[in-house]
């Protein structure tokens, strides 16, 4: 297959700017490798609420379902964050999209770049050589369990529910990834308190028998929150449930000092979505200072997913070349910064 339908959801804040650079890159790749990418744009997030009243219009969902892959920018707008009573919120669009597309696995690779180590809040000797892959379950758990508020009586609840069929697929994925790496898988849970965590442990243990070459271990989430800071190098592949994954993966994202570089993939059986892990960063919107590399590396993950391995490799090489030569935005090079568009063009030209 050489022709692909790509759904493009620029979203809010700096989303449109960084996604534009990814499209530049995909056009360069199409030319170099003789592929064809057709882009169909959809509204999503605050942008979509302003224009349609709906954070995920039906048309956008349809575009995504028809696509080979979804390229997504960012979501979120301060005018909603400061109004917790808003009935319609940008985040609902993202949650609904994940659920509707069945994107059960959110995958975040975390690597430190030798040339950027000094940007980290952590000491060099702590983070040097860290290389972690986090698998977060994305369409179940407390995010999607029953929610209820009784204003009158003054209480609310959120139910965290897991079925073993919601656990097994991502655990298999994580084991397969560990086999390709350092063969260590850590389940992060709270099995000393939660029934759902005990179910996760049980399912992981059963599945482990199919992967005898991978060492499986367990870590309580509170301890994991410490260990990620104390000694991140101890981790290879991590798998965890939705809420713990949200917290732990964001914590882990800052250890390398390069959150502007980190990509993510959200994978389902029939669809997949690729987005930078940084947020919509509204303060930077329109200033040309946003780092496009996280979006560009998300595009590399998209190329992996589409099995365009050579193109993915070429893209990653180009990004590393740009970073090594300090052809980067102000977050990584305050002395001689390049703009969002310059960095994207540099990488595209290199391809």
Two tokens, residue 130: 């860290």
Number of residues that bind a copy of itself (CB under 8 A): 61
267-270 long-range contacts, CB within 8 A, separation 24+: 267/103, 267/104, 267/105, 267/107, 267/173, 267/305, 268/101, 268/102, 268/103, 268/104, 268/105, 269/102, 270/101, 270/102
Interface pick for ligand IPM out of 193, 202, 217, 231 (rule CB under 6 A): 193
198 binds, among a copy of itself, ligand IPM, none (CB under 5 to 8 A by kind): a copy of itself
Secondary structure (3-state) at 147: strand
Closer by beta carbon to a copy of itself, 140 or else 345: 140
Distance of CA 22 to the CA centre of its chain: 15
Closer by beta carbon to a copy of itself, 163 or else 176: 163
Two tokens, residue 337: 């910064």
Contact 170, 204 (CB under 8 A): no
User: Catalytic annotation on 68?
Assistant: no
Interface pick for a copy of itself out of 30, 32, 208, 243 (rule CB under 8 A): 243
158 binds a copy of itself (CB under 8 A): yes
Contact 192, 199 (CB under 8 A): no
297-300 long-range contacts, CB within 8 A, separation 24+: 297/261, 297/262, 297/263, 298/22, 298/71, 298/263, 298/264, 298/265, 298/274, 299/22, 299/25, 299/26, 299/71, 299/263, 299/274, 300/263
- The stretch near a copy of itself (CB under 8 A) out of 207-215, 226-234, 263-271, 331-339 is 226-234
Q: In the beta sheet, which residues pair with residue 275?
A: 264
User: Tokens 């960063």 label which residue?
Assistant: 281
158 binds ligand IPM (CB under 6 A): no
Closer by beta carbon to ligand IPM, 59 or else 91: 91
Closer by beta carbon to ligand IPM, 94 or else 294: 94
Other Cβ atoms less than 10 A from the Cβ of 225: the count is: 17
The CA-based dihedral angle spanning residues 191, 233, 257, 284, taken in that order and rounded to the nearest 10 degrees: -40
User: Catalytic annotation on 143?
Assistant: yes
- Catalytic residue, candidates 41, 246, 285, 350: 246
What residues from 266 to 325 belong to the interface with a copy of itself (CB under 8 A)? Answer: none
- Catalytic residue, candidates 195, 217, 250, 349: 250
User: Catalytic annotation on 246?
Assistant: yes
- H/E stretch holding 185: strand 184-189
d(CA 310, CA 93): 34
d(CA 166, CA 29): 36
225 binds, among ligand IPM, a copy of itself, none (CB under 5 to 8 A by kind): a copy of itself
217 is in an annotated binding site: no
User: What is the nearest approach in angstroms of ligand IPM to the Cβ of residue 149?
Assistant: 18
User: Catalytic annotation on 222?
Assistant: yes
- H/E stretch holding 110: strand 105-111
d(CA 306, CA 304): 5
91 binds ligand IPM (CB under 6 A): yes
Interface pick for a copy of itself out of 218, 305, 346, 350 (rule CB under 8 A): 218
101 binds ligand IPM (CB under 6 A): no
Rounded to a whole number of angstroms, the distance between the first and last alpha carbons of the chain is 21
222 is in an annotated binding site: yes
Interface pick for a copy of itself out of 89, 98, 108, 314 (rule CB under 8 A): 89
81 binds ligand IPM (CB under 6 A): no
What residues from 136 to 155 belong to the interface with a copy of itself (CB under 8 A)? Answer: 142-143, 145, 147-149, 153-155
Residue ranges that bind ligand IPM, judged by CB under 6 A: 91, 94-95, 192-193, 222, 246
Feature table: binding site: 98, 108, 136, 222, 246, 250
Residue ranges that bind a copy of itself, judged by CB under 8 A: 81, 84, 89, 91, 95, 121-123, 126, 142-143, 145, 147-149, 153-165, 190-196, 198-199, 201-202, 218, 221-223, 225-226, 228-231, 243-244, 246-251, 253-255, 259
């Amino acid at each position: 297959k050489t022709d692909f339908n790509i759904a493009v959801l620029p979203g809010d804040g700096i989303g449109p700017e960084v996604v534009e650079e990814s499209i530049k890159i995909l056009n360069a790749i199409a030319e170099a490798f003789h592929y064809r990418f057709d882009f169909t744009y959809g509204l999503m997030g605050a942008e979509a609420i302003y224009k349609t009243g709906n954070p995920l219009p039906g048309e956008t969902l349809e575009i995504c379902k028809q696509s080979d892959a979804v390229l997504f920018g960012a979501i979120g707008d301060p005018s909603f964050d400061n109004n917790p009573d808003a009935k319609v919120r940008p985040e609902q669009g993202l949650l609904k999209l994940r659920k509707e597309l069945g994107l059960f696995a959110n995958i975040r690779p975390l690597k430190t770049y030798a040339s950027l180590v000094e940007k980290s809040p952590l000491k060099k000797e702590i983070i040097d050589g860290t290389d972690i892959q986090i698998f977060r379950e994305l369409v179940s758990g407390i995010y999607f369990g029953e929610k209820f508020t009784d204003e009158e009586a003054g209480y609310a609840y959120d139910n965290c529910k897991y079925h073993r069929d919601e656990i097994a697929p991502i655990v298999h994925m994580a084991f397969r990834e560990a086999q390709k790496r350092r063969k260590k898988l850590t389940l992060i849970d709270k099995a000393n308190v939660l029934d759902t965590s005990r179910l996760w442990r049980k399912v992981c243990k059963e599945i482990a028998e199919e992967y005898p070459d991978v060492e499986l271990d367990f870590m309580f989430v509170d301890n994991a929150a410490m260990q990620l800071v104390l000694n991140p190098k101890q981790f290879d592949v991590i798998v965890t449930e939705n809420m713990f994954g949200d917290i732990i993966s964001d914590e882990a994202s800052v250890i390398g000092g390069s959150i502007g570089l980190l990509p993510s993939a959200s994978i389902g059986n029939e669809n997949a979505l690729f987005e930078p892990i940084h947020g919509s960063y509204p303060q930077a919107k329109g200033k040309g200072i946003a780092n496009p590399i996280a979006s560009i590396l998300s595009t590399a993950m998209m190329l992996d997913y589409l099995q365009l391995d050579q193109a993915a490799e070429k893209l990653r090489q180009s990004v590393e070349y740009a970073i090594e030569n300090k052809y980067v935005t102000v977050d990584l090079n305050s002395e001689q910064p390049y703009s969002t568009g310059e960095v994207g063009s540099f990488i595209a030209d290199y391809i």
